[in-house]
Structure 1
């Protein structure tokens, strides 16, 4: 130890003479460590080796329980016979009596109970054993198996609804489209290194009997589809034909075909349908009866249809593999409007945990600094000791990289623990330096050398005690070691490097801080730091793309208007409780000569209330007003969706316009260069050069004007979303299409029309309330009095004898002229509400019909434009350039041709924008999602 101290002091005395080199070296190491951290990858929590396997086993969709049992028994037999590590296999199929874990019949869980790892012979690790078992199970036809740990699989299912480590959820409306994108994503995932046990959620595969009626033949036989459906339903599903009584028991009598006559498709085709003439016709003559695969299941999340594509991660970290997958999906799959994908499972948990760490780590750092400030009473020395934190982070990151461990939440917790322990070394050194300075030592170099000499062993002990304490965790291979190893690795590596650097860097910094000198690191380092800060600020302020559906969802969550409408709904719902407000209860008391010359007293209470019908009608009225408030909130929601869709599509339109103007700017720039050359060599006059410059300036003016308009639209978009994050619309402008035709049934679904319809009901409810107020009012009361004196029975009564009486009264509306006038006014209000409803319905039908004609007209215009005009735009530019270069045409003719081509494409964008606005308006009028 003495030799170590001597060697350290010799080295330190030399290092103090080169402070610039020391600080540059440390700064370089810190930058390298930060770069290394970006390549480590990340995962939520390392997978715990639980000792057993849970195999998610699936057969073909629609298989019965016999097929599932047969396939799982074959799989279990293979695992038992080919792998001596397997102790037993337990299979669970379907749902239990308490359906906490529901599964279809084609899915099952095989719990593979393994022997102790010391007895293994087929493999050394769980990943190797799972790969060999998976290859062995390929011998069972039609079966897919995914190997996971039991608890891990259950947690994945609880958190994300799927059992795989990473879950890609594709959202959209059409099931067939979702299935296509799921298949494409599955093919991409299968080519990603480290992705195993691919699972694509089956949507189709359930056999269904499909009866397609021939309406012309049915009409020819004078039949009705409703009657045919009823006959088919009665024959195969059964219908009630009456009741049977057995004592007090009652049963329905159900009529249907015998089981032998409804086994196969031929029985359905040969079902006889009676006609009005008395003849009977087989169903096969009236309809096409066939078996087709239909939807197996429809999954929804956040009121949207979705499909799941999941996979397990082997040999790589979650963050890296999902990052690679996102890049491939963004480059190879273009989702149409309304379709998007999210990445969940362990990746989603990792992002959520990172957000929490972004709060926990700064809070811990601030608390550490506050404690340092209280300990030394100096911000300068607090910052000096604080330098141990980045020094310790260097070692933690490098040791994670050396051991091949990705960043995880366990490692993040290790960094928090590391920062707390790392500052202890700095506290030990700085406290000793301050003591020596206080004792009268003035030479800073001598203070540093003497202080480190006295405190070298305590510093080494502080570091080695913590490091050796975590060493068993870093080398552990027992249960839970996967979570312990990253934490211990960060602490050990960080303390080792931090202790080494602190012993050399902290003395140098102490001398610099105490001298108060301005230490220059040269010109390049400040530039580098400034560049890093600019990048950080730029990334923080960078705009993020967002789809239309995501933008609408974000606005619905953040919009103050939507929140106000929700509060208004709550307000109206609370008012329902006010329907039975009663008048104040009257309490009376009297004293004096009430009954005789003696003084008596009397007290009583009475309560009046309206006829019960009044309260019932008032409650019905308030319920209707609450329903109308809900409808009003829906109207505001659809108005917001329409506004966002308009702004979204307008921005895409302006961006396409910008691309078109940029293209023309490039053409005119090239021509301006050629015009300048031609003018210099004397091949053209000043007119051609001036015209080219004017045209180029005009294009620049249009471009600047368009950019200002785009910034205004983006500002509107930001205000509508009401978020701190700056989003911009994602994608390119596309022709929108109507999902289905609009008829009178769709018209009735319009929320504004529903609002006026509810206004009709409210007006009728008001009339009922006013009429009910003509009913009598009721009064009940109770009185208690004394009657001092001789009564009718010649007995004397004192004040202690009390006499009671009850009161029951009824208030008759004799002067009800004013109330009857209110009833008449309410009836007039009913007529007004009916008239408003009819007027709104007529206007809505007119608007929808007009929009439908505009849509058809727009589709035809775009079709004709694409067919005859648009395809010639590029040809005009190419031909004009060649002819101008060859001298066949002059500049004026060339400019006219170029302008003609640009106008063609600009007009095409205008047609698409008009069509899209019509579709958005139609969706709004029919209350459909944008």
Structure 2
């Protein structure tokens, strides 16, 4: 109860600081707090106190003054280890605060909140926990054996013989550890990657695009058919709302031949059990919608689609951009690129921007004939403009209101290209000639839109990924294009979308991670005043990474920024057990136990309980996150999976590998001392 009472007090401390620093309570800030990490320091101090009381059985019951002295003595011995352990956990989150962009906005609140909570727990473990232990722990030094004691005796009975065997085969154990680490690196390099795991929003967004130049009536008919098909075939759908086109504004242009169908789905409990997730449902919907020819279908989720568009200008997960000057060449190369990558596994929707193909009526003047008839270009342009577009001929006033009077030809006389050709142009002599006498009127394919990025024309090929990670899909695309996709001089390809975000965020993590590791090493040195012992405890980090990588691999999760943050958090927690173990070895040495083997056997047996408890409470704290199926859990799952898997391997290997490395280190130190003497 003393340990558990630290949780609400540390959270109260965190909430006060959150309010002071303007951090809101949300899924990322509060959801990522692990109560196990918060109570780690308290667990170590309370366990050390209990062990000290059982070790020094001077009389059956202690007075309050004697109890105060016992708690002070026991807490003083372990205080530095617990304090530095929590400071390391606190410090390791600092590099996360240096992240910028989307990942910074997502994970900064988490790092700040965890930091506030751990800081509160740190203060409480040094003040509140010893005080409460002195007041409320039983003052009886003799207790009946309970389930916890029997459990620990059973674990010690398994662990001690296993450790003794491992100490006999040091090289074999170290070789196995190195082999597992090498295997972990291989698995890590093959697991792929994504920016942030896709969150299941509960709704779908379908973008449908028909032939360029189609009328609004055609688009309405097409989307109505889509609605009818989807409602008839998929009982999972609750409502469909369609939006066709949008204002020609720079932030979100959409022509009338393009429309968004927002599919509001029923609660997943009401699904008929035919589909397990939104991706399977989306694939089935696309197959049904492809019955209607001549349309391009892209299925995503509303927030995800807008997020992609705002971040990189493309609604798709991956945007392949071809840059160049000639729109015709860009269009041809985009078509060629699509044909080469169409059959790659994992590509769900694939389409290119429409840059050409807009039907236009062009009028090319014959300047010789215009001069022959005594006409000028400006007069002809005005006649065409007033006939088809309309021109103001005056104003009408209705009380305080004013309206323009626009004159143009009747709709029947401006319906097609022949009406343009037959438009009569008055001559200076009073006669008239049709426009076709002084100009060539014909249909031509014109540019639909001209998109630029950094001042350069580009065309975008967008694709969504289904059932596969983004990194491996892009790598396969790059391999295919490097082999047999050639571009003219001055044309080049770049990759955007979530892949671009992943690359940028990985670069920033590659800076944050070494900083975190460096801070851990510095603090370990300040704790033990020895680079050798600091390096010894530092081995817990690669040992913990093994478990984190294998946990991701076993759950079929690719590496993501969320998993990367998990590794940073894991490295801070993983060294805590090493600190507890090595500090006790050092304490035994000062108490007169000079044989390193005896120190290891006594120390590991004594510290087995706190080592297992700190790892267990931290892992159990992350377990709800790892198993959660609620909204937004997809972002937290990789983080929790990495920490749980990493703590599992770090604890097992720390209890076996660390004593071996300690013995080898002490053996080397003793040899050096003998040589000097």
Q: Indicate the TM-score class for this superposition, using the shorter chain for normalisation.
A: 0.7 to 0.9
Between stretches 492-501 and 472-481, larger displacement belongs to 472-481
Give the secondary-structure state (helix, strand or coil) at the position aligned to 1:146: strand
**Which residue is equivalent to 2:653?**
501
How much has 1:288 moved relative to structure 2? 2.1
**Are 2:547 and 2:649, in contact at CA under 8 Å, matched by a contact in 1?**
yes
Give the secondary-structure state (helix, strand or coil) at the position aligned to 2:362: strand
Q: Which of 559, 563, 574 is equivalent to 1:422?
A: 574
**Are 1:474 and 1:485, in contact at CA under 8 Å, matched by a contact in 2?**
yes
Q: Which of 556, 562, 568 is equivalent to 1:410?
A: 562
How much has 1:6 moved relative to structure 2? 2.7
Mapping of residues 261-276 of structure 1, within 5 Å: 261-276=413-428
Q: Which of 480, 483, 491 is equivalent to 2:643?
A: 491
1:31 aligns with 2:177: no
Return the TM-score normalized by structure 1: 0.53
Q: 1:392 to 1:280 in 2, by over 3 A?
A: same
- Rounded to whole Å, the distance in 2 between the matches of 1:7 and 1:376 is 30
Mapping of residues 556-567 of structure 1, within 5 Å: none
Q: 1:98 to 1:185 in 2, by over 3 A?
A: closer
Mapping of residues 269-284 of structure 1, within 5 Å: 269-276=421-428, 278-284=430-436
Give the unaligned 5+ runs of structure 1: 520-930
**Which residue is equivalent to 2:204?**
53
How much has 1:461 moved relative to structure 2? 1.5
- Rounded to whole Å, the distance in 2 between the matches of 1:155 and 1:7 is 53
**Are 1:190 and 1:196, in contact at CA under 8 Å, matched by a contact in 2?**
no
**Which residue is equivalent to 2:290?**
138
- Coordinate RMSD, CA, aligned: 2.5
**Which residue is equivalent to 1:292?**
444
**Are 2:247 and 2:254, in contact at CA under 8 Å, matched by a contact in 1?**
no
**Which residue is equivalent to 2:136?**
none
Q: Which of 538, 546, 549 is equivalent to 1:386?
A: 538
- Rounded to whole Å, the distance in 2 between the matches of 1:253 and 1:479 is 57
Deviations 1:428-460 (A, max 9, x none): 110111011111111111111111111112211
- Rounded to whole Å, the distance in 2 between the matches of 1:413 and 1:303 is 36
Q: 1:392 to 1:274 in 2, by over 3 A?
A: same
1:116 aligns with 2:267: yes
Give the secondary-structure state (helix, strand or coil) at the position aligned to 2:486: coil
How much has 1:239 moved relative to structure 2? 4.8
Q: 1:234 to 1:187 in 2, by over 3 A?
A: same
Deviations 1:882-915 (A, max 9, x none): xxxxxxxxxxxxxxxxxxxxxxxxxxxxxxxxxx
- Rounded to whole Å, the distance in 2 between the matches of 1:165 and 1:65 is 29
Between stretches 386-395 and 113-122, larger displacement belongs to 113-122
- Rounded to whole Å, the distance in 2 between the matches of 1:509 and 1:472 is 35
1:454 aligns with 2:572: no
Q: 1:253 to 1:464 in 2, by over 3 A?
A: closer
- Rounded to whole Å, the distance in 1 between the matches of 2:315 and 2:558 is 23
Give the secondary-structure state (helix, strand or coil) at the position aligned to 1:309: strand
Q: Which of 328, 331, 341 is equivalent to 1:176?
A: 328
1:62 aligns with 2:213: yes
**Are 2:362 and 2:442, in contact at CA under 8 Å, matched by a contact in 1?**
yes
1:468 aligns with 2:616: no
1:76 aligns with 2:205: no
How much has 1:155 moved relative to structure 2? 0.7
**Which residue is equivalent to 1:769?**
none
Q: 1:486 to 1:247 in 2, by over 3 A?
A: closer
- Rounded to whole Å, the distance in 2 between the matches of 1:508 and 1:440 is 21
1:95 aligns with 2:243: no
Q: 1:242 to 1:472 in 2, by over 3 A?
A: closer
Return the TM-score normalized by structure 2: 0.72
How much has 1:287 moved relative to structure 2? 2.4
Q: 1:438 to 1:268 in 2, by over 3 A?
A: same
Q: Which of 185, 194, 197 is equivalent to 1:43?
A: 194
Q: Which structure: larger Rg?
A: 1
1:481 aligns with 2:629: no
- Rounded to whole Å, the distance in 1 between the matches of 2:397 and 2:194 is 67
**Are 2:537 and 2:575, in contact at CA under 8 Å, matched by a contact in 1?**
yes
Q: 1:518 to 1:224 in 2, by over 3 A?
A: farther
**Which residue is equivalent to 1:167?**
319
**Which residue is equivalent to 1:735?**
none
- Rounded to whole Å, the distance in 1 between the matches of 2:617 and 2:541 is 18
Higher relative contact order (CA 8 A, sep 6+): 2
Q: 1:253 to 1:475 in 2, by over 3 A?
A: closer
How much has 1:469 moved relative to structure 2? 2.0
**Which residue is equivalent to 1:712?**
none
How much has 1:199 moved relative to structure 2? 2.1
**Are 2:206 and 2:262, in contact at CA under 8 Å, matched by a contact in 1?**
yes
- Rounded to whole Å, the distance in 1 between the matches of 2:417 and 2:230 is 40
- Rounded to whole Å, the distance in 2 between the matches of 1:2 and 1:482 is 39
Give the unaligned 5+ runs of structure 2: 1-151, 672-677
**Are 2:205 and 2:261, in contact at CA under 8 Å, matched by a contact in 1?**
yes
How much has 1:234 moved relative to structure 2? 3.8
How much has 1:366 moved relative to structure 2? 1.7
Give the secondary-structure state (helix, strand or coil) at the position aligned to 1:48: coil
- Rounded to whole Å, the distance in 2 between the matches of 1:516 and 1:20 is 15
**Which residue is equivalent to 1:201?**
353
**Are 1:23 and 1:505, in contact at CA under 8 Å, matched by a contact in 2?**
yes
**Are 2:341 and 2:480, in contact at CA under 8 Å, matched by a contact in 1?**
no
Give the secondary-structure state (helix, strand or coil) at the position aligned to 1:424: helix
How much has 1:30 moved relative to structure 2? 1.4
Between stretches 354-363 and 221-230, larger displacement belongs to 221-230
